[in-house]
Homo-oligomer: A and B are copies of this chain.
Amino acid sequence: MAQKPSIPKGTRDFGQEEMAARNYIFDTIRSVYRTYGYVQIETPAMENLSTLLGKYGDEGDKLLFRILNSGDTFSGVDFESYRGGDGNVNSNKLSMKVCEKGLRYDLTVPFARYVVQHQNEIAFPFRRFQIQPVWRADRPQKGRYREFYQCDADVIGSKSQLNELELVQIVDRVFTKFGINVAIKINNRKVLTGLAEISGFPDKVTDITVAIDKLDKIGLDAVKEEMLGRGLSAQAIDVIEPVLNLQGTTAEKIETMRGLMQGNSASGIVSGTGLLGLDELTELFGYIDAAGISQKVEMDLSLARGLNYYTGAIFEVKALDYAIGSICGGGRYDNLTGIFGLPGMSGVGISFGADRIYDVLKGLDKFPGNIAGSATLLFANMDASVIGYLVPVVKRLREAGVSCELYPDQTKLKKQFDYADKKGIPFISINGGDEAASRSLNLKNLATGEQKSFSCDDIEGILAFLAI
């Protein structure tokens, strides 16, 4: 009784080539994280729902994959008690009864949970990176998956802008290694808070930032309309508007903003928070000048990002030569671990979007040529009497680091060539009784057709022919 096999929508299988490409992305990011002294951790795929719920807003709660408690979960349940006034069972309430665990939605909340749980073992400031899949019950669509990897680095327990600098350096190094030209955009959430203060609506930071965050997508007029819709006055919007159109160097922009925050505003309020944010930006851009960043770095006061927990620096990275959304982002947060009982820990982090980076590398043809992931050399299998000669020879080459296959079955040579071709194996070795008698090996480069014979002891010559 055969089933037609498939996988859940929004999930993916990764075959040889995609894995090789993805490993290249993860290995590159990992190696840069490591040179900056970030250490790797892993947390479980399943977290207690109490850890996850309420951290991502109501919408996020709905997108959590919940895991049914094991055992005879439903037998003692009084379903009637879960019916609401409309007579329908409240799915959310009942699922809280029958599900205690959920799949992690991101790596940030598990990281906060980890820091609090292990605070006595950790040396602060704690720099950790984490590369693991996350799961979201989002409606699947092009480029949006229900299972995808995040590649996060965070440092927690230090307020120094040197941490922001190093994250900018990491972003610079990673994309330079990838050969992707990017713009690294930087803002500071405190400046946005200051903006709300001088607009006369200090409690509308979220409304203002959510609106500003859409500037790129919907344009200035629509943003102004959105702000009006969110309860800001026309006068307030007049205060905010020039900020979205600042010109000049970073230092000049900061100076203009400083004037605004110091009281040249319609509200007459002096924003201490805004000035603090401008001081942080000045310090960070000073470090950036000292470090020398290869990629384009720019202050962008219209950058807000959606997440509400950022309290200081905000980062976003866009590819310059490929149209796609943000491929990396992050920022500073002051209160991430407070919800788990450890207040007052400031941290800053970034996250690389592996799927989009994959698309950019593919679209710009920037993947290195040598990452195919298959063997380098196929030994053809033609003659049973030669196997006893080949087995130890193949073994020695493998121990010298050559990825080899010995075709396991004695079939037509054509079939074995097709196999090498389909798998992208670049070299083949075909040997018979003569080679066994003279302890030699025939090697053939399948791309160029070049053929050469080597003594089976001439490992160095063989490696050179294989370009290893």
Which chain A residues have a beta carbon within 8 Å of chain B's beta carbons? 1-8, 11-16, 19-20, 23, 34-37, 39-48, 50-51, 62-63, 65-68, 70-75, 77, 79, 82, 88-91, 94-95, 98-101, 103, 113-114, 116-118, 121, 123-125, 127-128, 133, 135, 137, 146-147, 155, 158-160, 162-163, 165-166, 169, 173, 287, 290-292, 338-342, 373-375, 378, 381, 387-388, 391-392, 395, 398-399, 401-409, 418-419, 422-423, 425
Chain B positions within 8 Å of A287 at CB level? 387, 391
Across the interface, do A391 and B16 meet the contact criterion of CB distance under 8 Å?
Answer: no
Contact sample, A vs B, 25 pairs, CB 8 Å cutoff: A2-B341, A3-B339, A6-B117, A7-B46, A7-B47, A7-B48, A7-B113, A8-B100, A11-B46, A13-B114, A15-B41, A16-B41, A35-B403, A36-B398, A37-B374, A37-B425, A39-B423, A45-B147, A46-B135, A46-B147, A68-B68, A74-B82, A123-B418, A123-B423, A287-B387
Chain B positions within 8 Å of A160 at CB level? 408-409
Q: How far is the CA of A287 from the CA of B387 in the complex (A)?
A: 8
Chain B positions within 8 Å of A70 at CB level? 62-63, 65, 137
Across the interface, do A75 and B89 meet the contact criterion of CB distance under 8 Å?
Answer: yes
Across the interface, do A159 and B409 meet the contact criterion of CB distance under 8 Å?
Answer: yes
Given contact pairs A19-B41, A35-B402, A166-B406, A340 touches B292 in the complex (Cβ within 8 A): no
Besides A7-B113, A35-B404, A70-B137, 7 other CB < 8 A contacts?
A: A1-B339, A6-B51, A34-B403, A45-B147, A74-B95, A173-B398, A173-B399
Across the interface, do A66 and B65 meet the contact criterion of CB distance under 8 Å?
Answer: no
Across the interface, do B37 and A405 meet the contact criterion of CB distance under 8 Å?
Answer: yes
Across the interface, do B51 and A3 meet the contact criterion of CB distance under 8 Å?
Answer: yes
Q: Which of B43, B90, B133 contacts A13 (CB 8 A)?
A: B43
Chain B positions within 8 Å of A118 at CB level? 13, 15
Chain B positions within 8 Å of A4 at CB level? 340-341
Chain B positions within 8 Å of A48 at CB level? 6-8
Determine the residue in chain B with the shortest Cβ distance to A419: B123
A65, A137, A402: most-surrounded residue (chain B CB, <10 A): A65
CB distance from A122 to the nearest CB of B (A): 8
Chain B positions within 8 Å of A34 at CB level? 403
Across the interface, do B67 and A94 meet the contact criterion of CB distance under 8 Å?
Answer: no
Given contact pairs A47-B7, A114-B13, A37 touches B2 in the complex (Cβ within 8 A): no
